[in-house]
Amino acid sequence: MSRRISPVIPGFGLTLGYTLVYLSLIVLIPLAAMFVHAAQLTWDQFWTIITAPRVLAALKLSFGTALYAAIINGIIGTLLAWVLVRYTFPGRKIIDAMIDLPFALPTAVAGIALTALYTPTGLVGQFAADMGFKIAYTPLGITLALTFVTLPFVVRTVQPVLADIPREVEEAAACLGAKPLQVFRHILVPALLPAWLTGFALAFARGVGEYGSVIFIAGNMPMKTEILPLLIMVKLDQYDYTGATSIGVLMLVVSFVLLLLINLLQRRIETP
């Protein structure tokens, strides 16, 4: 006589219903409301708002700095994950814990600390000023702030995958005459690339919508260092809800398209 094991979680229908309701209340309904509000505009009015020079400058700045920060973290984060997984040294656990600091630290606190550090009178900024360039209140400062905030995404997605790669595979390849570059290219890259793309996409998405850590170090100069989230706040302060919603829809559509392309690329890489 077979014994039926009762599942810990209720059946598929009930759990799926709760999932859809929760997802609708938290994500789908607010996003749909934003699109409905923006639909009150005609296409010409919507196009005029999103193609305004100030909006385009903020769009280029937000997505450009987020992309640069994601690329930097894609390189540095992978190196950090490699060191934490492959080497044992004093202070390793402390460094591993510090990786998650941007998750726990309020973004406004991070923004104030970075601004104090990189201003022309700050500890690092004064040396940059002596060399003839500024860090704070420039796109470079925004990129550094986004790099700080988004670093854990790449490290924490690459680290477990790297830990699961058997060292014996690399040793076998080396015994068969493979050079270190060949081992890296043919063994490590195929295994790490899907996780790396996931971390890159998460870092990029977080960087596009980041506000607290950027607002202080950006300087918020229109057409120069004004990010899209700040421009939305400016519209809301001016009671221009339609303009703020239109910019939000623009951010959502562009982010969705970019993340969709990254996910399609990741799926193509994972498919043998």
Domain match, 162 and 71 both:
yes
- Residue 147's SS3 state is helix
Domain match, 31 and 48 both:
no
For 165-205, write each residue's pLDDT tens digit.
877 777 787 777 777 777 777 788 888 888 898 889 889 98
Q: What is the pLDDT of residue 76?
A: 93
Contact 161, 195 (CB under 8 A): yes
Is the residue at 1 inside a domain?
no
**165 DSSP assignment:** S
Radius of gyration of the chain (CA): 23
Question: How much is the mean pLDDT over the chain?
Answer: 85
The more confidently predicted of residues 62 and 7 is: 62
Domain match, 169 and 206 both:
yes
Q: Centre a 10 Å sphere on the Cβ of residue 193 and count the other Cβ atoms it contains.
A: 16
Domain match, 31 and 102 both:
no
107 pLDDT band, cuts 50/70/90, is confident
Position 3 pLDDT exceeds 70: no
Q: What is the mean pLDDT of residues 102-108?
A: 85
Which residues span the domain enclosing 25?
Answer: 9-39
For the whole model, what pTM was predicted? Answer: 0.84
Domain match, 124 and 25 both:
no
